[in-house]
Amino acid sequence: MGDRMQGSADPPAKSLRTPRAAGAAGILAALMLGGAMVLVRLAFPDRPLDAAEYLADTSSHRALRVALVLLPYGGIFFLWFMGALRDSIGAREDRFFATVFFGAGLLYVAMLLVFGATAGAYLDTIEEMKAAGQPGNLHHFGRYLTFTLLAEYAPRMAAVFTLTATTIATRLGIFPRWLSALGYLAGLVLLLVVRTVVWTEMLFPVWVLAVGCFLLGAPPAGNGVRLTAKIPNP
């Protein structure tokens, strides 16, 4: 029996490989999240409208509803993008930066979903106000709440994600210099000036698009260490 065990070949080890299509997830996430951000900006003009005037502006309502359709799918593709990025890093991932990177990414997606739920409830409230014919001050509250989530809290989590991901990939030599410089620039702008300069939240989907294109065109990752287990011969 022992000879039979020695003579038998070890079963081939299997490892779960990230599909190459995961690199394209960054491109899809950037397009969907960026498109949703643009539609939200169009749905909420810089100059606050009167409540009755906004209730009659059906084009803004349609733009916001389309943004809410794109938002959850953009979040799903962003999670795939995170997985593709971590697969490129492989076993050399630093625990400290990996924890911040992973936590910031999850918080960003969570805040986007909270924004989507808030904006959806806001639209439903507007529909009821239109049916009742009684415009109120809730319009301004909903406007400021959705903008605070989209243009202040979520971009700062995106900034932490961008800075940590860029630091990890730069130290390991995964990103070229131009992509590292873009990541640090986008992260600092999102962290420091996103509140005061409009449209700066668009820097994050631009960075995700650039990284997604880079991962899609890069050769298959060979730097990750794949652990396999063997049965020792008696």
Going through 62-190 in order, the beta strands assigned E by DSSP cover none
Q: What is the pLDDT of residue 232?
A: 42
- 104 or 86: which leads in pLDDT: 104
- pLDDT band at residue 189, thresholds of 50, 70 and 90? very high
> Where is pLDDT greater, at 14 or 136?
136
- Dihedral (C-alpha) 56, 197, 104, 224: value to the nearest 10 degrees? 120
Indicate whether 12 pLDDT > 60: no
Q: What is the pLDDT at residue 204?
A: 92
44-49: long-range contacts, CB 8 A cutoff, minimum separation 24: 44/143, 44/146, 44/147, 46/198, 48/140, 48/143, 49/139
Concatenated DSSP letters for 1-31? Answer: -HHHHHHSPPPPP--PPPPTTHHHHHHHHHH
Pick from 40, 50, 45: nearest CA to 119: 40
Distance of alpha carbon 210 from alpha carbon 126, whole angstroms = 37
Question: Does pTM surpass 0.85?
Answer: no
Least confident span in 10-19, 27-36, 96-105, 189-198: 10-19
Higher pLDDT among residues 204 and 100, named by residue: 204
The DSSP 8-state label assigned to residue 80 in this structure reads H
In the predicted model, what is the mean pLDDT of residues 72-77? 88
Report how far Cα 139 is from the mean position of its chain's Cα atoms: 28
pLDDT for residue 138: 63
- CA trace torsion 131, 136, 140, 142 (10° rounding): -50
Structure-model confidence comparison of residues 135 and 183, the more confident one: 183
